[in-house]
Amino acid sequence: MSRRFPSSARPNRAGPAKTRYHDSVVSLPRALSKLGFCSRTEATALIDQGRVMVDDRPVHSPSQRVDLRRARIAVDGRSVIAERPLYLMLNKPRGLVTTRRDPQERGTVYDCLPPDLPFLSPVGRLDKASEGLLLMTNDTGWANYLLDCCATIRVRIADNQDENGGGVSVGTRGEAPRS
């Protein structure tokens, strides 16, 4: 589980967590994720274990909403400070899945990253058999901006055309070739 606390080299930033997001009132797990501390799933586990405090009060419900601009959030008694936005381009190799942890214990894209990085989320995903550019960031606003657009995906397929019309079989539908 990733833990991001201010280092001793940073000045002590007492007071509310600082963020640049417009949607500042969010659930506590989302707040911890936006601050780059951990994933929402990990945050829910921390809350269930009673390790999270907001404004010096213990929180036991993951559904509690907090204002990122004003709330003082702490885990295990230590303040959670917003990480600087980090943007990473990864040339994802074939054979890795785009997930933090895989229940089937396959390799993940996180195996390619140094362990000391703050929590990063992939912007979209690439299938296990795919390779290519995968953007990763702790800036959820930027990630949502990128994901909220049209995309054109080019796919190269090994000879899977049907014999009648030259189309490609997709599930139960046949797609006509584009001219």
Output the DSSP codes for 114-167.
-TTSPP-EEES---TT--EEEEEES-HHHHHHHHSS---------S-B-TTTS-
Tokens of 86: 């980090």
Q: Which residues contact 54 (CB under 8 A, 6 or more apart)?
A: 28, 64, 66, 71, 72, 73, 74
Task: List, for residues 144-164, the tens digit of each pLDDT value.
Answer: 888 887 777 777 777 656 666
Query: Any idea which residues carry the catalytic annotation?
Result: 127
Name the DSSP class of 40. Answer: H
Sketch out the chain's domains with CATH numbers.
25-79 (3.10.290.10), 87-147 (3.30.70.580)
* Per-residue pLDDT, 7: 46
* Per-residue pLDDT, 58: 95
* Per-residue pLDDT, 118: 80
The count of other CB atoms within 10 Å of the CB of residue 15 is: 9
**For residues 3 and 139, which has the higher predicted lDDT (pLDDT)?**
139
Segment 28-32 shows an average pLDDT of 93
pLDDT band at 9 (very low <50, low <70, confident <90, very high): very low
* Per-residue pLDDT, 34: 82
Query: How far is 62 from 107, CA to CA, in rounded Å?
Result: 30
Count of positions (residues) in the chain: 179
The count of other CB atoms within 10 Å of the CB of residue 117 is: 16
Q: Is the pLDDT of residue 173 over 90?
A: no
Segment 55-63 shows an average pLDDT of 94
Task: List, for residues 99-133, the tens digit of each pLDDT value.
Answer: 888 899 999 999 999 988 888 889 988 899 999 99
